[in-house]
Amino acid sequence: MAKKQAPPPSTDGAPAGKSKLKLIILGAVVLLLAIGLSVGATWFLMKKDAGSEEDEATPAAAEATPGKQPAVYEVLMPAFVVNYRHNGRQRYMQTTVALMSRDQAALDALKEHMPVLRNQLVMLFSSQDFASLATPVGKEMLRQQATASVQELAQKETGKVAIEQVLFTNFVLQ
């Protein structure tokens, strides 16, 4: 029987297993280098795009700022006090309201109708459920309803929406 012969030794003197290991390491280094370049290029381009957007937004913001008038506030005094019946107990709500506007003339025109405005707000506040006012969501809903109510009254009485927001500067439930 013939004996199997061993493979002939390599001509460069390195075993065949080491050349495969060098090839794998070289492939991994090239892959990592390609990933690093891709991330770097993406970061560079994103940074460049963000900078150009900021440059474009700056003139637009500068143009919008002079056109927007500063806010003017009118605090409605005295504070509103409303009573509720809740679970057989007498409960109270006291709130101080401020009106925010950007037009002083329209706010002054609305001041002539302050008794109607205060009456409308008292009716709105007294129609609320005491339990819902104890939550932040209930207070925000009441603020939005008050804003809509005052804007509707201003539109009806002065011909334009004079009030941007109704704000609660004090809100006490007892």
37 and 106 fall within a common domain: no
Considering the domain architecture, whether residues 55 and 116 belong to the same structural domain is answered as no
Sequence-distant (6+) residues with CB within 8 A of 123 are: none
pLDDT in tens, 74-108: 999 999 999 888 888 889 999 999 999 998 988 88
b/e map of 8-34 (b: 16 or more CB within 10 Å)?
Answer: eeeeeeeeeeeeeeeeeeeeeeeeeee
Q: What is the DSSP letter of 87?
A: T
Q: Tell me, yes or no, whether 11 lies in a domain.
A: no
* Phi-psi category of residue 76: left, alpha or beta, with phi > 0 → left and psi -120 to 50 → alpha: beta
Range of the domain at 158: 72-173
The answer to whether residues 81 and 33 belong to one domain is no
Over the stretch 57-80, which tens digit does the pLDDT of each residue have? 555 444 444 567 899 999 999 999
The total number of structural domains in the chain stands at 2
